[in-house]
Amino acid sequence: MTTYAKTGLTPLMARNVPGISTIVDAVEAMTGETVSGVPADIAADILTITRKGDRREIPQDIPPQSSFVPDAGKTAFVVKVYNDGERGLKFTIGGLTRKSGSSNVTIWWGDGTSTTTTTTADGGAQDTDLTHTYAQAGCYMIQISDDITIWRPHLYTSSGSYFFSNCAYWPQGAWSYVVTDGHSAGYWSNKNIFKIVYALQWGTSVTSAVWTYNCCLNLIGTVPEWNENITGATFTYNMCVGLSGSIPEWNSKITSAASTYRYCVGLSGTIPDWGASITSADTTYGYCHGLSGRIPEWNTKITNAGSTYYYCMGLTGRIPEWNTKITNAGSTYYFCMGLTGRIPAWNSVTTNASTTYQWCCGLTGPVPEWTNAITNATATYSYCYGISGRVPEWGANINSANGTYQGCSGLSGPVPAWNEKITTTRFAYYLCYGLTGEIPAWNNVTTNAEGTYQGCYSMTGTIPEWNSVMVTATSTYRECYNLTGGVPAWPATVTSAASTYYSCTGLTGPIPKWGSGITNANNTYQWCFGLDGVWETAGGGTPPDSELMPSKITSHSNTVNNTSNELRAKFLTGWGGTRSS
């Protein structure tokens, strides 16, 4: 069994905090080991690939990859076929595209036979399936003549769909998995075995490797070198969990490396430098947690770095500077816990900084200044508890501060004023207990303040007035026990006041009248024993039960539990008070 504690999980990570599950049902990991303690969002992704009881078994009776030697210039791969009705002796190729100037394409099936076919037009795609039936079970090296620019091991249909039935097989009883490749969609058949076992060589004329081995969960061995003409590598080896060894160098013509090695958990070694023409690095190495070593410098053309190194927890060393063209940095280094050093400055064009460094707990130093180009700061530094210093001013165009500094316990000093565009501050400073100073006023557009300052127990001063559009105030100031002064009036828009002031022991004075929209008052004032029993009305005194305990509030467990005797005496026991019903 593997636990995340063995891979760098710290006690702080293991605590029960939003977005993390300390006990996750056993997941059949792609390494073959049961994994426990997986963060909930990661577990959800892994479960889309495999689940307990559904792990496929790679056949063990396959000759070594080195025993198959292809002819120069040809596309070559190895298949394994079976002599049973469930898996079959057939192999089908679809999606051949003939290069301009070639009259036909020849396929050598590896059993002494071959097929020569002419595509519909010069440079056109094959419009029929090419199926070969082997006489007996075994492994065969298939070679395709150097007359193609594209090939895919997919079954072609008259509707234009490709079914990946040659690539993968789920055991009986497993669910169907929908595959979409931008050209077509289909379901994996649960009656086809994993047939492609080795990718040996790219033909010299192949220009596109897009989706070629996508979802071939049976593919084992090492990754072949790219030829010099391939320009597209999107999803080439996506979910090829059986591949091993190192990653080859990029050629100089590949422009898209989006999801090229996504979920290739068996790959190891270092990451090669980016090819000079690559513009998209979206999820290129996502979930490749076997990779190690440094992160290469960005080239000058990459614009999309979304999830590039997502969950590459084996990487170490510093983070390179951003180039001047990257606009999407969402989840770029998510869960790269082995990275160290300082965080580089943002470039001037990045707009998405959502979860860029979430769980990069080895990073240190100050937080760089926000730019006015960034609009999304959701969980950017969530649980980067090694960073320190002050919190920079919010960029003028940031509209989401959800979890931005969640768990950043090393930050100190006051928090900056909210800009005028942030609409949600959910868990923005959750567990940032090193922050001090007063709480800034709310802007006029924030509607969700759930957990914004929860656990910020070093902050002092009074609580600002709510804005007129706030809807969710759940746990906003929970455990901020150094706050003082009174409780501001509730706006009519708030619906949830659950735990809003839970354990704010420094608050004093009367409680305000409930807002007309509140339905949830669970634990609202629990442990606020400095609050008194005077109702905040013009005439003072005790309000009627219809105002004190309005019927629209349907959730009211422990609302005033552990407060002053005077306050509790006015509430029914169902609200945490002492009055009988």
- Kindly list the domain boundaries of the chain, sorted by start residue: 2-47, 67-244, 437-581
Q: Worst-scoring range by mean pLDDT, 91-95, 151-155, 206-210, 321-325?
A: 151-155
Quote the DSSP letter at residue 136.
Answer: S
User: Which pLDDT tens digit goes with each residue over 411-454?
Assistant: 999 999 999 999 999 999 999 999 999 999 999 999 999 999 99
Asked whether the beta carbons of 278 and 296 are under 8 A apart, the reply is no
User: Would you state the pLDDT for residue 164?
Assistant: 39
Residue 32 has pLDDT above 60, yes or no: no
* Mean pLDDT (whole number) for 228-235: 96
Asked whether the beta carbons of 510 and 541 are under 8 A apart, the reply is no
Q: Which residues pair with 144 in a beta bridge?
A: 75, 107
Asked whether the beta carbons of 529 and 523 are under 8 A apart, the reply is no
- Model confidence at 537, in pLDDT bands (50, 70, 90)? low
Q: Worst-scoring range by mean pLDDT, 14-28, 69-83, 516-530?
A: 14-28
User: Half-sphere exposure of 144 toward its Cβ, with a 13 Å CA cutoff?
Assistant: 30
User: Which pLDDT tens digit goes with each residue over 239-275?
Assistant: 888 899 999 999 999 999 999 999 999 999 999 999 9
Would strands 27-28 and 196-201 be described as parallel, antiparallel, or unpaired?
Answer: unpaired
CA distances from 209 to 68, 86, 123 (A): 21, 30, 16
Q: Give the tokens for residue 183.
A: 């050209």
User: Would you state the pLDDT for residue 541?
Assistant: 65
* 287 Cα distance to chain centroid: 10
- Count Cβ atoms below 10 Å from residue 579 Cβ, excluding itself: 15
* Mean pLDDT (whole number) for 33-54: 38
User: Which pLDDT tens digit goes with each residue over 59-96?
Assistant: 557 899 999 999 999 999 999 888 876 567 888 787 67
Residue 232 gets the label, from left (phi > 0), alpha (psi -120 to 50) or beta, of beta
In SS3 terms, 300-322 reads as CCCCECCCCCCCCCCECECCCCC
- Model confidence at 539, in pLDDT bands (50, 70, 90)? low
User: Would you state the pLDDT for residue 520?
Assistant: 98
User: Which pLDDT tens digit goes with each residue over 322-361?
Assistant: 999 999 999 999 999 999 999 999 999 999 999 999 999 9
Backbone angles phi, psi at 573, to 5 degrees: -60, -30
Q: Give the tokens for residue 153.
A: 């091991």
User: Would you state the pLDDT for residue 302?
Assistant: 98
User: Which pLDDT tens digit goes with each residue over 98-126?
Assistant: 787 777 889 999 999 999 886 555 555 55
Residue 281 has pLDDT above 70, yes or no: yes
Q: Worst-scoring range by mean pLDDT, 37-46, 80-89, 518-527, 565-574?
A: 37-46
pTM score, whole prediction? 0.85
Residue 283 has pLDDT above 70, yes or no: yes
User: Would you state the pLDDT for residue 415?
Assistant: 97
Asked whether the beta carbons of 488 and 463 are under 8 A apart, the reply is yes
User: Would you state the pLDDT for residue 174?
Assistant: 28
* Mean pLDDT (whole number) for 560-567: 93
Asked whether the beta carbons of 520 and 543 are under 8 A apart, the reply is no
Question: What's the chain's average pLDDT?
Answer: 83
